[in-house]
């Protein structure tokens, strides 16, 4: 998204604080270090004054920026500590992508549903069947909630979280509380040591553990996608072996899609996926080229958003994501936000409350404030991007006070981290 210049006055701050003689040589000859210091201090004061009179938006909170612009407000872009982001000359940066680069972000700020995410239509199922992040496992052990079949795999620390590392041809099963329904989603992170190593997922286990798996299955090595005994859909990519990649699978009947981060790599309308209450993963690595795997979330799909809202009076969505400890909406939220926005445009009689909810991790007061700000961010996004009249939407945060499930399990905590839409009479 391009943004108009917000503070043309910043380009003249130093000019306002220095008196320049006619000759450039004379000018620089007369400016002493003390004068330069005074100019810098005065420029900093001007920045602080303008920041105090403006709306402060996180550099990657594009909904906040657009809303302020539409309201005719001045905006300053700030970092995670609330400090105004400036360039080398001390002038505030007004472009979100340049601001992201200035604070060392690996990727520029991306708006939900735009840029590389424009064709991303994945929406997580609304009922969590299984979730595991290995936080309750001991480092060095095989994960206790996975069923070992063969191989060599252990829990390891990874950038503040935990993954499992495979150094052999490892097979393990994930047991579900029920048979996979017609609509379901599967998510996990994967870093493949080398593209030739076999990484596969089966939605059922054959009798007596034979290798004749029925129907289609998924693979995630050199050409990830849907393969097997049925129609196939794959693409060529090397991303999985270069970085930790989020794999997402969305199934509706026979229609099956597979995504690597924002990229859809398989799109098949007639896959033959058997349903069972066991998923089998084949995660292969070697001592020299280990494979890393983790953050599993398996969810069942529900009714269409509008139908569920009218039938139940409220609907919970697992498809709106935020940066950690932040109310900044992540770009992969685009598909869910689009569904909500289009629903509100089609049904102008609807008025709803956007509710934010958290799990029980973290302080009560912090969770309450975070849930309130996240709900408000969703309202701001819908108003700004889908021209929804603001009076139709209100926001409320409930923190951890209204859990949808027990916080004692990974599935329950994941289910509790949600945004709910509540229909108003």
- pLDDT, residue 13, reads 37
- pLDDT, residue 90, reads 81
SS3 content of the chain, % helix, strand, coil (to 5): 30, 30, 45
The tokens for 213 are: 């798996």
| 28 inside domain | yes
Contacts of 323 (CB under 8 A, 6+ apart): 60, 330
Q: For residue 175, what are the β-bridge partners?
A: 278
pLDDT-derived band of residue 250, with 50, 70 and 90 as boundaries? very high
Q: How far apart are the first and last CA of the chain?
A: 36
Q: For residue 202, what are the β-bridge partners?
A: 280
| 140 inside domain | yes
pLDDT of 131 > 90? The answer is: yes
- pLDDT, residue 88, reads 83
| 1 inside domain | no
Co-location of 134 and 220 in the same domain: yes
- pLDDT, residue 153, reads 96
Q: Give the position of tokens 């593209």.
A: 195
Contact 248, 223 (CB under 8 A): no
Co-location of 324 and 276 in the same domain: no
Of 105, 160, 115, 108, nearest to 332 by C-alpha is: 115
The residue among 249, 269, 300 that closes a domain is: 300
The residue among 267, 300, 333 that closes a domain is: 300
**pLDDT tens profile 258-279:** 999 999 999 999 999 999 999 9
Co-location of 318 and 277 in the same domain: no
Alpha-carbon distance of 257 to 265, in angstroms, equals 8
- pLDDT, residue 279, reads 96
Tell me the mean pLDDT in the region 100-112. Answer: 75
- pLDDT, residue 416, reads 96
pLDDT of 78 > 60? The answer is: yes
Co-location of 271 and 309 in the same domain: no
Buried b (16+ CB within 10 A) or exposed e, 144-179: eebeeeebbbbbeebeeebbbbbbbebbbbbebeee
Average pLDDT, the chain: 86
| 120 inside domain | no
Contact 84, 67 (CB under 8 A): no
Co-location of 143 and 241 in the same domain: yes
**pLDDT tens profile 363-417:** 999 999 999 999 999 999 999 999 999 899 999 999 999 999 999 999 999 999 9
| 84 inside domain | yes
CATH number at residue 173: 2.60.120.200
Q: For residue 354, what are the β-bridge partners?
A: 395, 421
Of 102, 98, 91, 66, nearest to 9 by C-alpha is: 91
CATH number at residue 347: 3.30.1330.60
pLDDT-derived band of residue 6, with 50, 70 and 90 as boundaries? very low
**pLDDT tens profile 282-295:** 999 999 999 999 99
State how far the alpha carbon of 1 is from the alpha carbons of 60, 96, 113, 264, in Å. Answer: 11, 9, 11, 22
* pLDDT above 70 as % of the chain: 85
- pLDDT, residue 273, reads 95
| 296 inside domain | yes
- pLDDT, residue 242, reads 78
Co-location of 57 and 153 in the same domain: no
- pLDDT, residue 401, reads 97
Co-location of 288 and 219 in the same domain: yes
**pLDDT tens profile 340-349:** 999 999 999 9
Number of H helices, E strands in the chain: 10, 21
Alpha-carbon distance of 407 to 208, in angstroms, equals 36
The tokens for 65 are: 């920026």
Of 108, 62, 56, 110, nearest to 85 by C-alpha is: 56
The residue among 251, 272, 300 that closes a domain is: 300
pLDDT of 152 > 60? The answer is: yes
Co-location of 236 and 182 in the same domain: yes
Name which residue leads in pLDDT, 194 or 243. Answer: 243
| 121 inside domain | no
| 179 inside domain | yes
- pLDDT, residue 202, reads 95
pLDDT of 117 > 60? The answer is: yes
Co-location of 149 and 220 in the same domain: yes
Helix pair 62-70, 364-386: axis angle to 10 deg: 60
- pLDDT, residue 19, reads 44
The tokens for 149 are: 């079949």
- pLDDT, residue 20, reads 43
Co-location of 311 and 381 in the same domain: yes
Co-location of 148 and 263 in the same domain: yes
CA angle 406, 321, 264 (to 5 degrees): 115
Number of domains in the chain: 3
Eight-state DSSP code of residue 71: T
Co-location of 238 and 182 in the same domain: yes
Residue 257: give the domain boundaries.
127-300
| 3-class secondary-structure state, position 370 | helix
Of 22, 57, 8, nearest to 376 by C-alpha is: 57
């Amino acid at each position: 998204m391009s943004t108009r210049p917000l503070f043309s006055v910043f380009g003249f701050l130093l000019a306002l604080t220095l008196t320049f003689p006619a000759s450039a040589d004379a000018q620089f000859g007369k400016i002493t270090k003390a004068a330069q210091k005074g100019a810098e201090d005065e420029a900093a004061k001007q920045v602080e004054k303008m920041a105090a009179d403006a709306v402060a938006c996180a550099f990657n909170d594009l909904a906040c920026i657009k809303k302020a612009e539409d309201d005719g407000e001045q905006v300053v872009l700030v970092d995670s500590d609330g400090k105004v982001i400036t360039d080398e000359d001390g002038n505030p940066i007004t472009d979100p992508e340049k601001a992201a680069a200035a604070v060392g972000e690996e990727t520029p700020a991306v708006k939900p549903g735009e840029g590389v995410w424009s064709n991303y239509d994945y929406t997580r199922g609304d009922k969590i069947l299984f979730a595991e992040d290995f936080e309750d496992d001991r480092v060095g052990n095989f994960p206790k909630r996975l069923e070992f079949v063969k191989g060599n795999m252990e829990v390891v620390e990874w950038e503040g979280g935990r993954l499992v590392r495979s150094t052999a041809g490892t097979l393990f099963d994930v047991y579900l509380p029920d048979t996979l329904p017609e609509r379901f989603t599967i998510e996990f992170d994967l870093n493949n040591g080398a593209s030739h190593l076999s990484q596969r997922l089966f939605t059922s286990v054959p009798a007596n553990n034979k290798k004749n798996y029925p129907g289609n299955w998924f693979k995630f090595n050199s050409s990830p996608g849907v393969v097997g005994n049925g129609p196939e859909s794959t693409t060529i990519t090397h991303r999985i072996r270069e970085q930790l990649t989020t794999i997402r699978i969305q199934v509706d009947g026979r229609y099956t899609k597979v995504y690597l981060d924002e990229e859809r790599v398989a799109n098949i309308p007639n896959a033959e996926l058997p349903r069972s209450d066991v998923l089998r993963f084949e995660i292969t690595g070697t001592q020299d080229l280990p494979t890393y795997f983790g953050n599993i979330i398996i969810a069942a799909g529900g009714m269409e958003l509008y139908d569920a809202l009218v039938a139940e009076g409220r609907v919970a969505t697992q498809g709106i994501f935020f940066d950690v400890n932040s109310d900044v909406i992540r770009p992969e939220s685009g598909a869910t936000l689009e569904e909500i926005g289009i629903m509100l445009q089609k049904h102008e009689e609807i008025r709803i409350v956007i509710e934010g909810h958290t799990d029980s991790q973290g302080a009560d007061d912090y969770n309450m404030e975070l849930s309130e700000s996240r709900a408000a961010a969703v309202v701001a996004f819908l108003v700004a991007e889908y021209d929804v009249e603001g009076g139709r939407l209100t926001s409320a945060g409930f923190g951890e006070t209204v859990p949808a499930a027990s916080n004692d399990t990974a599935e329950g905590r994941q289910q509790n981290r949600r945004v709910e839409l509540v229909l108003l009479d």
